[in-house]
Amino acid sequence: MENRPNKSRNAVFFLSGLMLLTACRPDIPMVNLGIDNTYAVARMKSLILHPEFPGSRYIWTTIDSAGNQSVFSTDRDLIFCSEKTGDFHFRLQIEDEANPYTHEVTISVWEEEVAYSPYISKVFEYCPAPGQFVNLMPAYETGDTYADMLKKTEESIAGTNDVMISLGAYGGYVTFGFDHSVVNVPDQYDFKIYGNAFYAADNPIPDNPDSGGSSEPGIVMVSFDRNGNGIPDDAWYELAGSEYYKPSTRHHYGIAYERPDPAKPATPHPAIPAITDTSYIRFVDSEGKTSYIQRNVYHGQNYYPLWTNDSVLYFEGTKIADNAVDVSGNGSYYILYAYDWGYADNHPNEVADKASFNIEWAVDGNGKAVHLPCIDFVRVYTGVSQSCGWLGETSTEISKAEDLHVENQKKVENQKKKH
């Protein structure tokens, strides 16, 4: 009988030996890293790279054309977003006692096919607190639903439109986004929000700052669309303005407004005829204080959002100290002083650096700084709770917002073409 080699048995021995050799080499990962070598993405669009390998530390470094390296991030995930085109090179180092790993990635950023707009493209939420301009800016019409009011808000402040909307008293807010991600460019202002703040022509108290006038500061929050679903349901971060860390600022402050009873008799102000009802809309805050949104003779419509069926409207956030001073002493003349920086509708629009915002100011709910390479959503809410006599409650107003890097990049490109 011919002695032929057993091919099946030899194959088994070969595979067993290969598995044994592989098992003895800890430097060969048994799972896929989950990251490719190259990626392509449009500018001002985010890309998230998530390494599947476990490690005690993750270090992402950038590599320039000369081979120089600098640490870009020590987070596990790389969140990348650039306002410039070109190739960007990264090296990932995963520190792990059993299986350290190094991987290099190139991200090619290309020009968008359709030029981005620097202005708001979509309004996601419009939830004003009660106020004298609510149901007027934008105008409510009988039968309007929340969707109708959201559309009217978007038509007011999106694109090149520049029509003022009111957020009502403390806590009322609007949420909007652009047709791209707003990039966090180091040491630069990233976006601007337009309001109707102004400085007074005459200041009856010469020793007070020149920035007195009408400042109705709105707190600004930002969010990154981490889950990529295009809606603002990810974590929110406050942009910590000049008042954020001051003892007079209240964090995690809450307020509840009650729908006004149309049958309740009005209580006119005994000394200020312009105030027709001092107890119009009752509210209670998280510190146990009860007060009212007063009604005045200049606005006779309902101050409570008429498109909602809610009997109570609750808002929560940061509240900064009152900025209004009754310089007359009798409620006839108020000056609302601007805070230094970091709030919407706080300084006039022409004071560009005071009306602009830096994503680098972002903090989490505990006041800890957070680095966001880019953001996709912006929320603005009225940041003070105060009444100013015949002027009524303080309410933040905005008319539009602008990504400052879209215009800047266009200027750079135009300059290159000229040369």
Burial class (CB in 10 A: 0-12, 13-18, 19+), 318: buried
Per-position b or e across 273-297, b if 16+ CB within 10 A of its CB? ebbbbbebbbbbbeeeeebbbbbbe
> Which of 418, 409, 415 has the alpha carbon at shortest distance from 82?
409
H-helix or E-strand spanning residue 26: none
Give tens-digit pLDDT for 160-194: 999 999 999 999 999 999 999 999 999 999 999 99
Q: What is the structure's pLDDT at 205?
A: 56
**Which segments of the chain have a pLDDT < 50?**
1-30, 408-419
- Backbone CA torsion sign across 184, 189, 194, 199: positive
Give 364-390 pLDDT, tens digit per residue: 999 999 999 999 999 999 999 999 999
In single-letter form, the type of residue at position 380 comes to V
Encoded amino acid at 86, one letter: G
Give me the pLDDT at residue 11, please: 41
3-state class (DSSP) for residue 284: strand
How is 143-172 classified by DSSP, letter by letter?
A: T--HHHHHHHHHHHHSTT----EE--STT-
pLDDT for residue 332: 80
What pLDDT was estimated at residue 100?
94
Q: In b/e form, how buried is each residue of 371-388, taking b as 16+ CB within 10 angstroms?
A: ebbbbbbbbbbbbbbbbb
Give the pLDDT score at 213. Answer: 84
Position 78 scores a pLDDT of 97
Which pLDDT belongs to residue 79?
97
Tens of pLDDT along 237-256? 999 999 999 999 999 999 99
